Amino acid sequence: MNYFTEVVLSGLTRGSIYALIALGYTMVYGIIELINFAHGEIYMIGAFTALILASVLTIFGFNTIAILFLAGIIAIVYSSMYGYTMEKVAYKPIRNSQRLSALISAIGMSMFLQNYVRIAQTSDFLPFPRIIPRFPWLSALPVSMSSSQFMIFSSTAVVMVLLTLLIKFTKIGKSMRAASQDKIMAKLLGVNVNKVISLTFIIGSATAALGGILISSYTGQINFYIGFLAGIKAFVAAVLGGIGSIPGAVLGSFVLGLTESFGAGYISSDYEDVFAFIILAVILIVKPAGILGKGQIEKV
Amino acid sequence: MTQRLNELRRSLLVSLWFMLLTFPIMVIRVNTITGTVRWRWTNLAVIGIGSFFISVVWRYAMQRKAGEAQAVGILSRVGERVGAGTKKIGAVLDIPKVRTRLVGGLLAAAVAYPFLNSMYHTNIMITALTYVVLGLGLNIIIGLGGMLHIGYAAFYAIGAYSYALLNMYFGINFWLALPIGAALAGLFSLLIGLPQLFGIDMRLQQTTVFVYFIMLAVVILTIFVVHRLENSRIGRQWVAMKEDYIACQAMGVSIAKAKLTALGIGAIWGGLVGVIFAARTTFINPASFTVWESVIILSTVVLGGMGSIPGVFVGALVLMLLPEYLRPFAQYRMLIFGALLVTMMVFRPSGFIKKRRKAYTITEAERQSVIKAELEDDGEVEE
Amino acid sequence: MKRKISRKLLFALLVLAGVALVFAGCAGDEQEIAIGVAGAHSGDLASYGLPSVNAAQLVADQYNENGGVMGRQVRLIVEDDVCQPEIAVNTAAKLVGDDVAGVIGHICSGATRAALGTYVGSEIPVISPSATSPSLTQDGQHPNFFRTIASDDAQARLQVDFVINELGLSQVAVLHDQGDYGRGLAEFARDFIEEESSVEVVMFDGVTPGAVDYSAVINRVAQSGAEVIIYGGYHPEASRLVGQMRDRDMETLLVSGDGVMDDTFIRVAGEAAEGVYATSPMDTSTSAIAIEAAELHRERYGEEPGAFFLNAYAATQALLNAIDVAESTEYADVTAALRNNSVETPLGPISFDERGDATGVGFSMYQVQNGTYVELGN
């Protein structure tokens, strides 16, 4: 396998990782125009809950498959609960005030959740079990891909397809689109906007938690700070692709992942963040709403 | 009565919800090496009781905010008293005589501070004053201009690095013609470098006092400039832009220009303080200028009161001095910051000290005289 | 008019008096000798700083039970700097204000450098158990600075020699985490390798701490044909690097420094940690004094001593011994005594050279074998 394909592959891995987190950012922004800074924290809480449950179940002597499913599903449910509660406490009361207030509230929420986990659990790095089993058939492929990488790719693809189907073809999806276009009009037509917003947070949090579990299993370690670092990058990816658009978030994530990978692979990994932000700046100058973003029409 | 019972039932539900929600993280603590689980049930009880009370207070505050507060029990009476009290204090503070005295007193205290206190306290005060200036600088961008900026520490870093590098490679720097940041950086590095320039040999104690006074001067300068800016044409453009983007544009204000000036003028203070910071610590690395640094500066502005000079002043002093004096409390600092930011945004988006807009109240007599004048004018036209 | 001014004055004075009252400190006992202990006692790096507090306390208590130093009791003043330079300046000012005779600390190199400015001016001797940045002793600006740990260049030297002589490899990739400590270590390693003819640096690059994926940099390592990586940095990044390499069945060796010589590394990296090399201060825990010190710690605190415990123990012994020998807490006397007297410590007999580095302390190479770090024989 030549070097070029390897660089592409590692770019795609990164892209998928960013995409799993960026989807939640973009969905929430699409519906209430809020940059949910605490989204990365939900990702971290998902990973932490899964780790805690998995350790407890291991001590209780469950078998591996049961642990994988139980810990994974409960962690995803819990993260959705956190997302739901977060919206009710920190965002709903100020939905009608300035956008700046909501942003600051989101930053506050992010700080709170990070330190809540730090104090309640630990500030140390913890080993995260490599819960994804090795797939022997992967070695038959012409590219060297680890099973975690494969899982991350396929989950991103599945989640994206499911989300697209949900939004395009279901009634819930229709109400989501209606609410994002015009909340008052949607209300008049009988859409329960509060419920739709809650649902968006629940779905976004669930994808973040799934990402948290998969990615932590790939990197093999977690601490209370991982959500913040990954969240910032995913946010950049969402903005790059056009925040508010789901295909945009995925596209933006891959563009970002590939840029970083090529920068690191051919020039120097010392400057990979610099490459990421240069591409962001260039794209935003050319297309201020992002690659797939729609320009806003100012309503007077 | 049933209503109150209902409220209590809802609070109970909320507390049960939070007990469920925080269960894995608050209660379970796994030691992976020994393979044992510690169940911290006391935490669950604390969460349950805590969230019950917070929920009661929260709901009450929500109702009050919504303006449907019925006089329920002690809480509301306390609330009223406090409200009336602050109003009274506000009124007293408005008297110009009291104001001058207060400012004079504060100034005297500030000048005497380093002579009455140890170097340690002076040092802490320098740090706090640094944040006052940073807060005021960011305040221009967010409080007046209405733009969220979470990279403010970068300006701070630019100032610090330009000083450090210029000083390291060029001695006392002469590249003063470089753009804004560097220009100010140069100016203040000269000020700090004065003792070396004239060969004054200062002891540590004296250096600290010297830096303290530079910082004090910078604070006063900042307050003066920001105050003047606020009431200037540009300042009013910023506020207009923050309030209503489109209306502001319709009034003929160039949004791009207003935004850039707000960013630029705000950034200057960051750079300036960065220079002093670098000169004082004699050692800088990127770890001092993280996103969290920006977030702390942001918190001082938001908690103190966006747009309000005394608010930012108080906010920075409180946020910087409290953790210094309450060291054991430091671990919870960020947790409390976070919770405070959220509650502040929900209940009191204006911060500790609300910005008071310039307002002119027309008295009845004035109104009459205006009407009269208008009538007379009309009469003249008719003739 | 006159009355008005006097009232203004009165008001100002009242404010002043209030401020002064609030901050009026309590004066220390003249009979005691105050020793400052500074370092990270909270935050992420607390595990590096707290053991030195215990060490200093144990040594001080021993002296105090035996009648103190020069007949005076030793009192510790413990101050936290969270390893942040800007806080370390405040910490140093606090200790200077408390009139300490000497300081054990600080822990991190950056914080130490920032704090030293304050101590130099006030003529207070400082002994750090863990600040390894070479320039602290080599730039000649801090005559009051001593340390009971060898500096990073000695570590890099050992790593390079080990790669050449013991491993016999010639293609080296040098990586770092872009931090002060990591980059410094890596640059020394690179410079040492460039002086040698038998080895070659095939790649020199930094990794981004906290990035989600290191496969890009691992690709380049594989591409460069490196047989061994010399890594400067801390364990979280090292464990991910080595974990992702082993995941892809890459067998490239990893040689690192004391930032990785931590049990958390083995716990987090798991099986991938096997075979990783790390340099760290020589293991002297089998010497009689060291066993005694560790035993004291277990007795008092009920747990094993942590990182830099023995270095801090030695530092405190050296400082108190110097004051005792000099029979003075004056700066000139104490520093002279530090340089001219040898003292028995858990690290062996040490004294300090002109620059402030301890003679007789050095590094050894360790390797992870069966889940623990094992010191490799000389």
Residue B169, pLDDT score: 56
* Percentage of the residues of chain C whose pLDDT score is greater than 70: 91
* Percentage of the residues of chain B whose pLDDT score is greater than 70: 72
Q: Which domain holds residue B213?
A: 115-347
The mean pLDDT value of chain B amounts to 76
Residue B76, pLDDT score: 59
Residue C54, pLDDT score: 92
Residue B197, pLDDT score: 46
Chains that touch B (3 or more CB pairs under 8 A): A, C
* Interface touch C268/A18, C-beta < 8 Å: no
Residue B170, pLDDT score: 53
**A208: contact with C, CB 8 A cutoff:** no
Residues B80, B155: one domain? no
Residue B370 in domain: no
Residue B381 in domain: no
Residue B285, pLDDT score: 67
* Minimum mean pLDDT range among B114-128, C84-98, C286-300: B114-128
Residue B305, pLDDT score: 83
In contact, C96 and B119? CB cutoff 8 Å: yes
Q: Give the distance from residue B347's alpha carbon to the nearest chain A alpha carbon, in angstroms.
A: 9
Q: Which of C4, C16, C15 has the alpha carbon at shortest distance from B97?
A: C4
What domains are defined for chain C?
33-149+285-361 (3.40.50.2300), 153-275 (3.40.50.2300)
Best mutation target, B30, B138, B248, B259, to test chain A (most A CBs within 10 A): B30
Scanning A101-140 for CB atoms below 8 A from B yields: 101-105, 107-117, 119-121, 126-127
* Residue B297's pLDDT band (cuts 50, 70, 90): confident
Residue B380 in domain: no
At residue C362, what are phi and psi to the nearest 5 degrees?
-160, -170
Q: Which of A33, A227, A216 has the alpha carbon at shortest distance from A131?
A: A216
Residues B82, B148: one domain? no
Residues B157, B283: one domain? yes
In contact, A280 and A242? CB cutoff 8 Å: no
* Percentage of the residues of chain C whose pLDDT score is greater than 90: 37
Asked if pLDDT for residue B137 goes beyond 50, the answer is yes
Residues B228, B299: one domain? yes
- The reply to whether the predicted model has a pTM over 0.90 is no
Q: Give the distance from residue B303's alpha carbon to the nearest chain A alpha carbon, in angstroms.
A: 10
Separation CA A18–CA A28 (nearest Å) = 16
| Helix residue ranges per DSSP H, B231-363 | 233-243, 245-250, 255-281, 291-304, 309-325, 333-347
* Minimum mean pLDDT range among A169-183, B184-198, B223-237: B184-198
Strand extents, DSSP E, B34-155: 36-39
Scanning C266-285 for CB atoms below 8 A from A yields: 267-270, 272
The mean pLDDT value of chain C amounts to 85
Q: Give the distance from residue A54's alpha carbon to the nearest chain B alpha carbon, in angstroms.
A: 10
Residue B69, pLDDT score: 46
Residue C4, pLDDT score: 46
Between C118 and B280, the more confident residue is C118
Separation CA C178–CA C257 (nearest Å) = 15
Residue B99 in domain: no
* Residue B146's pLDDT band (cuts 50, 70, 90): confident
**H helix or E strand, kind and range, residue B106:** helix B96-116
| Residue C140 exposed, middle or buried by CB count within 10 Å (0-12, 13-18, 19+) | exposed
Residues B305, B219: one domain? yes
- CA of residue C159 relative to chain centroid, distance: 19
* Minimum mean pLDDT range among B19-33, B222-236, B249-263: B249-263
Q: Which residue's entry shows tokens 């859409």?
A: A191
* Residue C23's pLDDT band (cuts 50, 70, 90): very low
Residue A31, pLDDT score: 87
DSSP per-residue codes, A32-101: H----TTHHHHHHHHHHHHHHHHHHHHHTT--HHHHHHHHHHHHHHHHHHHHHHHIIIIIGGGTTS-HHH
Asked if pLDDT for residue C24 goes beyond 50, the answer is no
Best mutation target, A45, A104, A123, A125, to test chain B (most B CBs within 10 A): A104
Q: Please state whether B155 falls in left (phi above 0), alpha (psi between -120 and 50) or beta.
A: alpha
In contact, C102 and C91? CB cutoff 8 Å: no
| Helix residue ranges per DSSP H, B23-72 | 41-66
Q: Which of C206, C271, C202 has the alpha carbon at shortest distance from C232?
A: C206
Chain C residues contacting B via beta carbons under 8 Å = 8, 11-12, 14-16, 19-20, 23, 25, 42, 80, 84-86, 89-90, 93-94, 96-97, 110, 113-114, 117-118, 121-122, 179-180, 267
Residues B213, B273: one domain? yes
Cβ density class A229-257: b for 16+ within 10 Å, e for less = bbbbbbbbbbbbbbbbbbebbbbbbbbbb
Residues B25, B163: one domain? no
* Minimum mean pLDDT range among B87-101, B282-296, C126-140: B282-296
Separation CA A249–CA C289 (nearest Å) = 62
Separation CA A38–CA A23 (nearest Å) = 14
Last residue of a domain, which of B40, B74, B89? B89
What domains are defined for chain A?
3-286 (1.10.3470)
Residue B192, pLDDT score: 53
Residues B191, B273: one domain? yes
In contact, B90 and B54? CB cutoff 8 Å: no
Scanning B199-258 for CB atoms below 8 A from A yields: 246
List of chain A residues with pLDDT < 70: 1, 142-144, 295-300
Residue B199, pLDDT score: 53
Residue B204 in domain: yes
Asked if pLDDT for residue C28 goes beyond 50, the answer is no
Residue B371 in domain: no
Scanning B72-131 for CB atoms below 8 A from A yields: none
* Interface touch C23/B32, C-beta < 8 Å: no
Mean pLDDT on B243-257:
84
**Could you tell me which chain A residue has the CA closest to the CA of C218?**
A265
Between B198 and C252, the more confident residue is C252
- CA of residue B118 relative to chain centroid, distance: 27
pLDDT digits (tens, 9 = 90+) for C97-148: 888 999 998 898 888 988 998 898 888 999 999 888 888 888 888 899 999 9
Residues B253, B199: one domain? yes
* Minimum mean pLDDT range among C42-46, C252-256, C257-261: C42-46
Q: Which residue's entry shows tokens 């291991």?
A: A58
In contact, C100 and C125? CB cutoff 8 Å: no
Residue C20, pLDDT score: 47
Q: Give the distance from residue B91's alpha carbon to the nearest chain A alpha carbon, in angstroms.
A: 28
Residue A47, pLDDT score: 94
Residue B203, pLDDT score: 57
pLDDT digits (tens, 9 = 90+) for C103-115: 998 898 888 988 9
Indicate the number of domains in chain B: 2
* Interface touch A115/B30, C-beta < 8 Å: no
Residue C229, pLDDT score: 95
Residues B209, B326: one domain? yes
Residue A50, pLDDT score: 93
Residues B200, B154: one domain? yes
Asked if pLDDT for residue B325 goes beyond 80, the answer is no
* Interface touch A107/B150, C-beta < 8 Å: yes
Residues B128, B270: one domain? yes
Q: Which two tokens stand for residue C236?
A: 């979280």
Mean pLDDT on C57-86:
89
